[in-house]
Amino acid sequence: MKSPHINHAVAIATVAGNSIKEVSDGWSKVDQVVHMSGSLTTDVRQSIEKEEPSLRYWSTERTPHNPAEEGFTCDEYKVALSFPKT
């Protein structure tokens, strides 16, 4: 992955039992998106916010074309981390 901050956030999520579903490139607003398999738990969110304060949290609701998601963006490296919202 292209961001050390996102790499650390992924490590926090995987230690808590989550896993990477896929990594995609070529998005319009970011260079890379890391998609996680499981949802973002409160504990993982709080750990990421505490340990990686440079990451920006975001959340989107479901649309007819896209599922609901939440995650973090590293604006410095233009990499996002996405978790499905249930």
Residue (of 9, 61, 63) closest to 33 by Cα position: 9
pLDDT higher for 29 or 5?
A: 5
Q: Is-contact 12 51, C-beta < 8 A? A: yes
pLDDT at 28 over 90: no
Q: For the chain, which residues make up each domain, given as ranges?
A: 4-84
Please state the pTM of the whole predicted model. 0.93
pLDDT in tens, 36-61: 999 999 999 999 999 999 999 999 99
DSSP string, 13-60: HHHTT--EEEEEE--SS-SEEEEESSPPPHHHHHHHHHH-TTSEEEEE
Rounded to the nearest integer, the mean pLDDT of the chain is: 96
Q: What contacts 29, CB < 8 A, 6 or more positions away? A: 78
